[in-house]
Amino acid sequence: MLNRDQQNLLGTLGAAMAADALLDRLRERGTLEGGRSAPQDGCWISYNRKAVWLEDHSQFSEAALREAGDAGAAGTAQAWRRTRPKVVLKVTWAEAAAYGAALPQPLREELDTLRRTERDENRSWSGFSDARGGWPWRRRFESDEEHQVAQAEWDEAYGNHLAALRKVWDRQKAAIARALPLTVDDEPTDLLELLDQQAPAPPPAAPAAPSTTAAALQEAALRPAASGPVAAADHGLFTLPASNHGYAR
């Protein structure tokens, strides 16, 4: 199993080279040696037929080289020439192949198909270019019209070639992201990190208390009517009170 740093190191090689490493195709090459810049400051990535490794070149600063050169100037061995970068991380192609062999078979077949598709597309473009003698320079044509026709054909074919490659590259990146899941930034390292990333569940909300006004209104509606004298009905405007008998005399 490759840890996060090792998977990131393979991922920085590019989707195509990482796929070849997982499919155990780099050890088959007769010659393989090179390098590229690393995303880390002061570091460099180197590889050969056996492995890929991350080198720390921070000790090769201008001041450090000047100091080492001054110290070794008097000696014949020139100590500054013996300075070697520190290997920070290393992944052998055998380790990458063993990890790739444990991947699901459909994913391995997808990586293999995408690599073959990319190679076929490059061969197709090479055949198109070779059949026309390479870039359509103006001096190769007798007139501007012939040159413009050839240039338009070349531009269209090259545009289609790049569009096809971009589609393959996007699919390769997606497949490598599944093959090397720890290269994804939000992928947790282990279960403890996963638990730390989970936000605590909010406490259950307490049931809302009924409104005081609503309770008071409901209680008043259900309360029986109080017993007591009933107010007399209003007399009409021209009605005399019945209790006053003086008006009948």
pLDDT tens-place string over residues 31-42: 889 998 899 888
Per-residue pLDDT, averaged over 27-52, amounts to: 88
3-state secondary structure of 235: coil
User: Cα–chain-centroid distance for residue 121?
Assistant: 27
What is the Cα–Cα distance from 115 to 43, expressed in whole angstroms? Answer: 29
pTM above 0.85, yes or no: no
What is the Cα–Cα distance from 120 to 167, expressed in whole angstroms? Answer: 14
Cβ atoms of 183 and 177 closer than 8 Å: yes
Report pLDDT digits (tens) over 126-158: 999 999 999 999 999 999 999 999 999 999 999
Which residue in the block uniquely carries the two structure tokens 């003698």? 133
Cβ atoms of 176 and 7 closer than 8 Å: no
Lookup: tokens for 205: 């909300």
What is the Cα–Cα distance from 136 to 153, expressed in whole angstroms? Answer: 10
Residue 223 confidence (pLDDT) = 65
Per-residue pLDDT band at 216 (split at 50, 70, 90): low
**pLDDT value at 197 more than 60:** no
Mean residue pLDDT of the chain comes to 78
Share of the chain above pLDDT 90, in %: 52
Report pLDDT digits (tens) over 54-63: 998 877 666 5
In sign, the C-alpha dihedral spanning 159, 165, 166, 167 is: positive
**pLDDT value at 242 more than 80:** no
Longest Cα–Cα distance of the chain, Å, equals 156
What is the Cα–Cα distance from 176 to 172, expressed in whole angstroms? Answer: 6
Of these ranges, 39-48, 178-187, 211-220, the one predicted with the greatest mean pLDDT is 39-48
3-state secondary structure of 90: strand
Identify which has the larger pLDDT, 86 or 229. 86
What ranges do the domains of the chain cover? 1-102, 103-186
3-state secondary structure of 126: helix
Tell me the CA distances in angstroms from 221 to 20, 172, 216, 217, one per residue in order. 83, 74, 9, 6
Q: Is 143 left (phi over 0), alpha (psi -120 to 50) or beta?
A: beta
